[in-house]
Structure 1
Amino acid sequence: MTDLAGRTVEVPHGAKKAILGEGRMFYATVVLDKDKPFEQLAAIGDDLPKFDPDTWNKYLARFPEAKDVPMIGAAASADFSVEKALDLNVDVLVVTLGFYDKIKESGIIEKLEKAGVPTVFVDFRERPTQNTVPSVLLLGRIFAKEAQAQAFADFYMAEMRKVYNVANRLKPNERPSVFAERAAGLDPAVCCNTFGNFNFGEFVAEAGGFNVGTKYFTGVSGVLNPEALVTEDPDYILVTGANWSNSNPGNTAVWLGYETDKAKAQQQLKGLMERTGFPELKAVKEKKVMAIYHQFYQSPYHFVAVQALAKWLHPDKFADLDPDATFKELHEKFLPIDVSGVFWTTLD
């Protein structure tokens, strides 16, 4: 098979023991087998409970055996042990494309290949709207779950099309300017991380907005000077948030996910909009502010985020679009857990 790094790789069909080099790739593998989502996993990266404890807790409650799945360091970190991977007698290492350079430099690929273990790259983060379908289909082949992968891909494309069919016809002057702040409040002393034309920057454009970050950054992300934000005075402000209590105690981010509630999210969002310079922005004055679940940024479920953004930016053009219903349908069809908590909210 050809992976998302353009490498030709031989992988045993129906891998029985796979390592997810980043734990949050579980968002993708679970849709392939919602009844036994951990059966073919030999180990996963420890970032899932670290950066998304809400989701991990939800799955632990449903599948207590998940606690026995070995946790390893992220494949691109110094914590990753090739020896430990080989001790688990694994069939394949699956890694996110964003780690490609680091992993290549580390020698992990070569060491595993010498032991007969291939490395496969998928991508849900760099170019998510382009690479999600081929990545899911690739995982379907690896795990011999082709039918399930195709079913998810079909659902994904149908839901994205609901936005594309309208947003693609918008003229430049119909696209409001949006400043998307990445992980706002993760470090209370830092403002303002944003996106170039990748990831959430891509989601904003797909939803019918103009991502301000593209004027300043050609890469995935960058830090916008707060003075530049005041000068831009965007029509809308988007911030991403999650439960980072395990990784960054003391953060002031908007907690979004399965275990939060709207009142808490609103309080935190209002707090972020009280930072220096923000109260003067027209988007804040007009309450055109949204917080959205950060982990959509590397999840095949991001089509829900694109729908939520489209509905927010163009309520008249997307009057019939119901992202809440889409999110519920995703859970009913492809996930073994139910919807709870809050995944996006607008400033009251």
Structure 2
Amino acid sequence: MGQLKSSLAKGFSISLLMGSSLLLSAGAWAESITDIAGRQVELPKKVDRILLGEGRLIYAVALLEGDKPLSRIAGWQGDFRKLDPHTYARYKEKFPEIDKIPLIGNTTAESVSAEKVLTLNPDVAIFGLSGHGPGRSSELVTQLEKAGVPVVFIDFRTSPLKNTVPSMRILGKALHREAEAERYIKFYEDNVAKITDVTKTIPEDKKPKVFIELKAATSDECCGTAGNGNMGDFIDLAGGINIAKGLLPGALGTVNLEKIIATNPDVYIATGARAANAPGLGIKLGLMCLTKLLVIA
């Protein structure tokens, strides 16, 4: 008889648990969206804790969060602190609590700790389509989804011209900041139009040939650049011809120096993100240099 009571009690408890789970699944989700990777994601009605697969995704999140850009960040990678120290320092001046945000990894997808991530109890995880954080095939995505944490992919890196607007709209929905997202999108599109209204009238044979070197002079290897995507998109937008576009199969890669010289670009752009007082090689922020103005008639 005691065993029967125990079995009934266990069955009742399980029924209650299943019932509460069904109620949770029916009432806890706001809507279903398609993220930038084409995945269907169920979004929670309430988001208090946001996990960022890359710390530098805060640039986009901050556009939507107003005066408290860090208040809902539950954790992020260490790339923001290590790879963009000058911007991190500016944030720290105004938001000293930034140092207290838990780190889930260093600057690579491999460094991310799944155990650490799950202890942070995020309501939603925001990952980049490419970059330094976990990607679509990451085991972490599966683990988070099994734990009931929706994972949303956005992209400002691989195809920024194509994906910035939809990514901001997705981010706005995921964080329940849709009005803020739409305001930014209008600002973005209005300013892009100011450029394209001019550059769309430039004849193809009048456009300058451009080569952009990414992270210039930071290593002996030459020359890292952007082809079909990334910063290469902005060369096209600005009325130039990106010479790497026909030389690289994807968004990023390396072009041989001899090939660049043979192509004879009209404009060379060197990019870098090292702090002005950083030791070693590389383009420093605030570097004084001679400039040649290019006027496109």
Q: TM-score under structure 2 normalisation?
A: 0.83
Which AA in structure 2 matches 1:83?
E
Report the counterpart of residue 65 of structure 1 in structure 2. 97
Secondary structure of the 2:198 match is helix
Structure 1 residue 314 displacement after superposition = 4.3
Q: What is the 5 A alignment of 1:84-103?
A: 84-98=116-130, 103=135
> 1:313 & 1:165 partners in 2: Cα distance?
18
For the residue of structure 2 that corresponds to 1:37, the secondary structure is coil
Cα distance in structure 2, aligned partners of 1:314 and 1:10 = 50
**For the structure 1 residues 80 and 88, does the alpha-carbon distance in structure 2 shift closer, same or farther, using more than 3 Å as the test?**
same
Over residues 52-84 of structure 1, what are the superposed CA-to-partner deviations in whole Å (9 max), with x where a residue is unaligned?
001100000001111111122269622211221
Instruction: Specify the code of the residue in structure 2 equivalent to 1:216.
Output: L
Which residue among 237, 240, 245 is the counterpart of 2:271? 240
Q: Deviations over 1:315-340 (max 9, x none)?
A: 65xxxxxxxxxxxxxxxxxxxxxxxx
Out of 276, 280, 283, the residue aligned to residue 254 of structure 1 is 283
Please list the CA deviations of residues 267-299 of structure 1 after superposition, one character each: whole Å capped at 9, or x if unmatched.
xx67xxxxxxxxxxxxxxxx54xxxxxxxxxxx
Q: 2:224 is matched with which residue: 181, 185, 193?
A: 193
Could you list the per-position Cα deviations for residues 242-269 of structure 1 after superposition, in whole angstroms to 9, with x for gaps in the alignment?
Answer: 12699xx75422122xxxx3xxx02xx6
Q: CA deviation at 1:105?
A: 3.5
Answer yes or no: is 1:203 the counterpart of 2:213: no
Does structure 2 conserve the Cα–Cα contact (< 8 Å) formed by 1:245 and 1:251? no
TM-score (norm 1): 0.71
Which aligned pairs between 1:305-316 and structure 2 lie closer than 5 A?
313-314=294-295
Counterpart for residue 201 of structure 2: 169
1:224 corresponds to which of 247, 255, 271: 255
Change (3 A) 1:161 1:34: same
2:68 corresponds to which of 21, 36, 55: 36
- Greater radius of gyration (CA): 2
Q: 1:68 to 1:183 in 2, by over 3 A?
A: same
Is the 1:244–1:251 contact (alpha carbons within 8 Å) kept by the matching residues of 2?
no
Match of 1:138 in 2: 170
Structure 1, unaligned runs of 5 or more: 271-286, 289-311, 317-348
Match of 2:54 among 22, 28, 51: 22
Aligned to 1:147: 179
Against the structure 1 CA distance between its residues 109 and 100, is the aligned structure 2 distance closer, same or farther, given a 3 Å change threshold?
farther
1:229 maps to amino acid: I
Matched, 1:13 2:45: yes
The alignment covers a number of residue pairs equal to 265
CA distance in 2, matches of 1:186, 1:99: 18
Q: CA deviation at 1:11?
A: 1.6
Q: Deviations over 1:85-106 (max 9, x none)?
A: 1111111111101169963443
SS in 2 for 1:178: strand
